[in-house]
Amino acid sequence: MIRDRLTTALSIGVISTINRSQATTLAICCFVTASCHAFAAISIPRPNYGVPEFAVTGGTFKVEVKASVGLTNTLWSAVLVNDLRSWTGTVEQAEYGTYVDNNTVAGYRLTVRVPADVSPEVFKLVVSHPNGGAATNRNAVSIIQDLETDFYILHYTDIQVTAMEPTNPDTGEANLNGDIKGSIREIYWHAPAVNLINPRFMFHTGDEKENNWGGETEYELYIEASCNMLTPAFVSRGNNDSTTTTDVWRRQFGVETYSCTMGSFYICMKDFRENNFMPWFSDDYVASFTNSAIKYRLFGQHYNSGGSQWMPPTGQGRDPDLMLVGHGHANSTLQPSYPILETQAAFVRGAVGFFQFNKSADDWTCTTLGDPWFQLMSYGATAKINNTLSYANDGTQTTNTATIVNNIAKNFFDGRVRFLMKYSATGYSVSNGVKLAEYAYNGNSNMAVVVKVNIAKSATTVVGIQPLLTLTVNGPAYGQSSPAYGVYTNSFGTSFTVAVTNSPVLIGSTTQYVCQGWTGSGSVPASGSAANTGTLTLTNDSAIAWSWTTNYSLATTASNGTVDVTNGWKSAGSNITVTAVPDLYYHFMYWSGDVTAGQTNSNPLALVMDRPRAISATFAAYQATNGTPHWWLARYALTTNDAGALYDDGDGVPAWQEYVADTDPTNKTSYFHITAVSNLPPLRVYFLSSSNRQYTLNWNTNLSVDLWTNAPDQSPREGAGGPDWMQDTNVVPAGFYRLDVRLP
């Protein structure tokens, strides 16, 4: 099946559509049925599968392109493509010269700036020019968020594939004419474990394929399988790659001898078969010691003796910090002075070397030199580190859980899980991991979330993913809520409480706004009658809208009676019926205040609370003759009629006059009269007064003439309540005086 895929057309041509917001479709302008490297109008010697480039998000990397001279420098395109979508880089510079294959071949050198939103993954690189065609290299560019942070690598050497399928399903090994080596299938088995561990790069030190198994087509099978390891690979040629010509090797892997600078970390690989670049290689290696920015040197080759191996000159202070080799199919330290370490063949259940590099302020240190080796596989396709997902990782789910079981005695602090989820406009949150990137694909139908996981050694690590959810809080302008009105993004499972903090709100003294509860959706109950939701848990997008009511004040007053509706707040728009209830011996007269015209005499009174209202009920006393109130007659046990008002207790003063004078109609000694007079200037008239009545002193000079005049300053005034007097300050020759009493 894999071989069949190789015989179909490989993607090559001009990119017609690059859409950064969704998966990219590449329009194929030519259709070829073999290796794209051999037939493309242009080719990319570097970066390539075996000679990758590194860049930070928003940074740059270099591209070497073989193409004919004369292509317009401004029309180059460089696109980073993974299995889900693409990101278009910016070709900032394109130069033609001797830039290819360690400055030995003419071609173009492009400087490509990486988009700031690109995901930290390993990408295919698609380079195109409208007049030159397009070329694609797999696993060519790795995006790292920070090159100067701790990392680790896997030394993966001597896989020596000799068949497509294993003859020993327990180990993955293949037996070809008695030669027991590796199989292509075994690489597929190794890939999921490598992806979980997520080394910064794989370090292949030769013997990728056995000499006696096929040629370039088999290398295509090998690379297709290896590209399932979603990490860049530095690859060198070993003795069992000897039947592979240098041209074939360069097409498939890239230049055979090379160096790479990854920030302050220098990597160089020496080909074991040929010394095509020996002067360049030794000069480049020596030059790394004159570069003060370089803090660590990792040297790789197939073996440290025989073939075209190269060893740094001794005694010159130019030793590498670490050399890794293969060939011997054993885990061993070949040299301790500067460490040269050999790793067992990878076809032995995925044997690898694990090398961790820690960055200090001005140096790098490898911390795993003592015991760096382990095997990826337990048996067959069963890895010692594996991941089980609760749901299908196919873009259809909104939640998922990855359970990583690590039976390797190593802690992988930069482990990686990529969740493929249903699209969420607000994105996703993760638990027990760090979200590194999140991007839409498939026309914004799905979303990929790249998560960094600290995978504990010999333990189980569980990572969860849930959508980031929105909580929307709404309400009227006068309301205040905690949290305040707005839209909030929270992780799945967040506990929250929403509460109104200022109910009731008083506007002046007659209008009031009161929170009546809420309506909700999602994780908020559909309705509630309190001003506090209590503790809720966010499991989907949710909203709460606070409901408020308007109240208007109703103020009622009455004297000599009551109103059957108490003062207080009434709901706006409510209908209120108010009844005036008179006291005994009284009857209702009318309403005053905020009463609708035409209803002042209505009792009961119908009110609509469309505004604040203050009303007053007026009552009048029932009266007998001469305006004598029934209530006053009843106070003295007199009949509440005219006869009672005319009653005389023997003092010659009828009851109705005693009412006016506020005297006792049942006590003949209690009646209104002058008790004494002092005729010395000023003249004074003495009497018993009531504080509930008003008194006036009148005078007249001739009783035959009914012409009475108020004494000066003796206008009606309230009585003192008991012995009282009024006086005339005028000096008159003679006159007559009288006292007048009346109701106030």
Predicted confidence (pLDDT) per residue in 326-368, tens digit: 999 999 999 998 999 999 999 999 999 999 999 999 999 999 9
Q: Tokens for 384?
A: 């010692």
Q: What CATH number does the domain located at 151-379 have?
A: 3.60.21.10
Q: Are 200 and 231 in contact (CB under 8 A)?
A: yes
Mean pLDDT is lowest, of 356-370, 486-500, 703-717, for: 703-717
Q: What share of the chain is helix, strand, coil (3-state, %, to 5)?
A: 10, 45, 45
How does DSSP classify residue 100? E
Residue 574, burial from CB neighbour count under 10 angstroms (0-12, 13-18, 19+)? middle
Work out the pLDDT band at 37, boundaries 50, 70, 90.
very low
SS3 sequence of 409-421: CCCEEEEEEEEEE
CA 85, 91, 96, 100 torsion-angle sign: negative
| CA atoms of 436 and 116, how far apart (whole Å) | 13
Quick: pLDDT tens for 278-301.
999 999 999 999 999 999 999 999
Q: Is the pLDDT of residue 11 over 50?
A: no
| CA atoms of 388 and 390, how far apart (whole Å) | 7
How does DSSP classify residue 532? B
Q: Give which of 130, 51, 136 is closest to 86, Cα–Cα.
A: 136
Note whether 2-144 and 151-379 share their fold: no
Q: What CATH number does the domain located at 384-466 have?
A: 2.60.40
Q: Are 415 and 404 in contact (CB under 8 A)?
A: yes
Q: Is the pLDDT of residue 8 over 60?
A: no
Which helix (DSSP H) or strand (DSSP E) does residue 363 occupy?
A: none
State the pLDDT at residue 540.
87
Q: Tokens for 454?
A: 């600290």
Beta strands 122-129; 77-81: pairing state? antiparallel
Q: Are 170 and 379 in contact (CB under 8 A)?
A: yes
Q: Are 264 and 295 in contact (CB under 8 A)?
A: yes
Quick: pLDDT tens for 645-674.
999 999 999 999 999 999 999 999 999 999
CA 204, 263, 105, 304 torsion-angle sign: negative
| CA atoms of 626 and 624, how far apart (whole Å) | 6
Phi and psi of 272, rounded to 5°?
Answer: -90, -15
Phi and psi of 657, rounded to 5°?
Answer: -75, -35
Length of the chain: 744
Q: Give which of 466, 465, 505, 494 is closest to 483, Cα–Cα.
A: 494
* Residue % of the chain over a pLDDT of 90: 85
How far does CA 529 lie from the centroid of its chain? 28
**How many of the other CB atoms lie within 10 Å of CB of 308?**
17
Q: Is the pLDDT of residue 212 over 80?
A: yes
Beta strands 296-301; 265-270: pairing state? parallel
Q: Tokens for 529?
A: 């009658």
| CA atoms of 207 and 203, how far apart (whole Å) | 12
Q: Tokens for 494?
A: 């967040």
CA 328, 333, 339, 343 torsion-angle sign: positive
Quick: pLDDT tens for 159-176.
999 999 999 999 999 998
How far does CA 670 lie from the centroid of its chain? 90
Beta strands 133-144; 122-129: pairing state? antiparallel
Q: Are 132 and 155 in contact (CB under 8 A)?
A: no
Between 82 and 178, whose confidence is greater?
Answer: 82
Between 493 and 375, whose confidence is greater?
Answer: 375
Q: 658 vs 495, 543, 646, CA distance in Å?
A: 80, 76, 10
Q: Is the pLDDT of residue 228 over 70?
A: yes
Q: Is the pLDDT of residue 31 over 60?
A: no
Phi and psi of 603, rounded to 5°?
Answer: -145, 110
Q: State the fold for domain 2-144.
A: Immunoglobulin-like (2.60.40)
State the pLDDT at residue 552.
98
Which helix (DSSP H) or strand (DSSP E) does residue 37 occupy?
A: helix 36-39
Beta strands in 278-427 (DSSP E): 296-301, 322-325, 332-335, 340-342, 351-359, 364-366, 373-375, 377-379, 382-383, 385-389, 400-406, 412-422
State the pLDDT at residue 316.
80
Produce one character per residue of 263-274: b if its CB has 16 or more CB atoms within 10 Å, e if not. Answer: bbbbbbbbbbbe
Assign residue 356 a region (left: φ > 0; alpha: ψ between -120 and 50; beta: otherwise).
beta
CA atoms in the 13 A half-sphere facing the CB of 644: 18
State the pLDDT at residue 732.
67
Q: Give which of 642, 649, 646, 672 is closest to 660, Cα–Cα.
A: 672
How far does CA 293 lie from the centroid of its chain? 40
Beta strands in 5-121 (DSSP E): 43-46, 53-56, 60-66, 77-81, 86-88, 90-100, 105-113
SS3 sequence of 197-249: HCCCCEEEECCCECCCCCCHHHHHHHHHHHCCCCCCEEEECCHHHCCCCHHHH
Q: Is the pLDDT of residue 27 over 60?
A: no
Q: Tokens for 223?
A: 């690379």
Name the residue with tokens 């199919």: 329
* Edge-to-edge strand list for the sheet holding 105-113: 43-46, 60-66, 105-113, 90-100
The DSSP code sequence of 657-722 is: HHHHHT--TT-TT-S--EEEEE-SSSEEEEEEE-TTSEEEEEEES-TTS---EEPTT--SEE--SE
Q: Which pTM was predicted? A: 0.74
Domain boundaries, the chain: 2-144, 151-379, 384-466, 468-621, 626-661, 674-742
Quick: pLDDT tens for 437-473.
999 999 999 999 999 999 999 999 999 999 999 999 9
* Amino acid type, 632: W
Question: Average pLDDT, stretch 91-120?
Answer: 97
Quick: pLDDT tens for 540-591.
899 999 999 999 999 999 999 999 999 999 999 999 999 999 999 999 999 9
Name the residue with tokens 């008239």: 685
Question: Average pLDDT, stretch 632-640?
Answer: 96
The average confidence (pLDDT) of the chain is 92
Assign residue 13 a region (left: φ > 0; alpha: ψ between -120 and 50; beta: otherwise).
left
